Structure 1
Amino acid sequence: MNARAEILPTVARMPIARAEHISIESAPEEAPPSVRRARGKIRATYALKSTLRGCETELALLDDHFLSVRSVRPDGLPKKYDVDLRFANAKPVRVREISWTWLIVTIGLVVLAAGAILSALSATATPWDRPGFIAALITLLVSVGTFLLFLRRTTESLQFRSVHGNATLVSVTGGIGSARGGKLFFVELIKDINAAKAARPHEKPQFLRDEMREHHRLRELGVLTEAEYEASKMRILSAHS
């Protein structure tokens, strides 16, 4: 995924942005609607579980243009939360992480073992009597383990990010191509994102304030880290200009 530098507001304009941010987060009477709302009925569901990678994602489309998310990752606690689809970008991002290190190690071990086995076979009719042959077989077995590590650490994520903050609101993670089975669900999800914006239209300043509140709520729930929240906040504030 290509990285792109973002232009932040100039120093002269930052105090205005900070004041706007304070106003956004210090207005208890304007709490995000997702906190006060009653939970809607489930219209469609999707689940992806990868035992090898320790990843599990469950999604449920609710009839009030919210998405219920349950996410389990090996490096953190399970998370369960709802996302207001108004603030999601309708164009998902596909992110692949390939464990090149373990792939190279696996290929190297296989080549080394194959060379030793072929050498032993060409040298004698009883290659199993040669120490190098046994070592080659052990190396071949080790390569199976390194290949499993390669598969475990190679992932593909389908991410839905926020409109202006570019924060990851939903991430469906598994092996490469594993999310293809949910194509119909994701088509419905994209339609619902567009419908959510049409059902509750707002002027841009109000939308940005609501988006900031949604990010703040997700940070409080542990969905966004402090670093992710701060980065998304700066992007939203820069969008005010």
Structure 2
Amino acid sequence: MRVTDPSTSSAGNRRINTVLSQQSRSMGQLRRIEIYNDKFVKVIDQDLFGRQSYHLNLSMLEPWPVRHRRIAWRWLLGMICFALTTLAFGYYLWLHQDPATLNRLLPFIIAFILLTCGFLILFIYHSPNVTEFRSRYGSCPLLRLLYNKPDPESFRHFVAELRTRILAASQAVTFDKKEMLAIELKELDRLADEGVLTRDAYHRARQRIMNMHF
């Protein structure tokens, strides 16, 4: 049950079942999710930090998605602090209206404005509103869909089909639980090596799987 891309094998071309294309302008993110050959999914994710592509076997996913909405308070507080500092400098200049003071403080004001914009971008990027499909045993987020993108109807239809195909792929598996644990652990190793999973997420999932195994 190793996750491979059938389009690269001698078995024939990849047959795409359904495609969902998503875009988030605020995050500078483009995402394309393809369900293909009935039991695989390919994710192509492009954002401000580069492009990433990976494959998953649907049978290793939990069919019940989880909506994840997080507020990145650290970046939000940083943005507020720099914005308030910028306003304080601006108010000071408005009170004094001295060209010499303006020349002295202008570089600091520009720096704080840039820092405010930078923290705003990081706040948006680190505050995702997504629906996650997690691995069956390690409960590790493997597939993230931008919530209600490109529109609520298309999103709900795709999620429903994805759940149906995950259930069908899981029912076709003939391995016992111990073998499935070993297979999922091997797949998580691969995804961690490809940079899909962070090391913290990988180690947490690995620990859950090892606890179940023993």
1:158 equivalenced with 2:123 (yes/no): no
Q: Rate the CA distance shift 1:97–1:103 in 2: closer, same or farther, 3 A.
A: farther
Give the unaligned 5+ runs of structure 2.
85-93, 96-112
* 1:35 aligns to 2:9 (yes or no): no
Q: Secondary structure at the match of 1:35?
A: coil
Alpha-carbon distance in structure 2 between the residues aligned to 1:153 and 1:33: 32
Report if aligned partners of 1:40, 1:64 keep a CA contact under 8 Å in 2. Answer: no
Q: Which residue is equivalent to 2:157?
A: 184
Distance 1:213 1:64 in 2: 22
The separation in 1 between residues aligned to 2:77 and 2:35, in whole angstroms, is: 38
Query: What is the match of residue 57 of structure 1?
Result: 31
Per the TM alignment, residue 36 of structure 1 is displaced from its structure 2 partner at its CA by 7.5
Q: Which residue of 2 aligns with 1:112?
A: none
Alignment CA distance shift 1:152-1:167 (3 Å)? closer
Measure the CA separation in 1 of the matches of 2:56 and 2:78.
36
SS at match of 2:35: strand
What is the count of residue pairs matched by the alignment? Answer: 188
- Tell me how far apart the structure 1 counterparts of residues 160 and 78 of structure 2 sit (CA, whole Å): 35
Determine helix, strand or coil for the equivalent of 1:164. Answer: coil
Q: Taking structure 1 as reference, are residues 36 and 177 closer, same or farther at Cα in structure 2, changes over 3 Å only?
A: closer
In the alignment, which residue of structure 1 is the partner of 2:46? 72
Query: 1:98 Cα deviation (Å)?
Result: 2.8
1:170 aligns with 2:137: no
The CA RMSD measured in Å over matched residues stands at 3.6
SS in 2 for 1:90: coil
Is 1:209 paired with 2:178?
no
What's the offset of the Cα at 1:217? 1.7
CA distance in 1, matches of 2:190, 2:18: 24
Structure 1 regions of 5+ residues with no counterpart? 1-31, 109-130, 133-141
Name the residue aligned to 2:100.
none
Change (3 A) 1:180 1:161: farther
In 2, Cα distance between equivalents of 1:209 and 1:164: 10
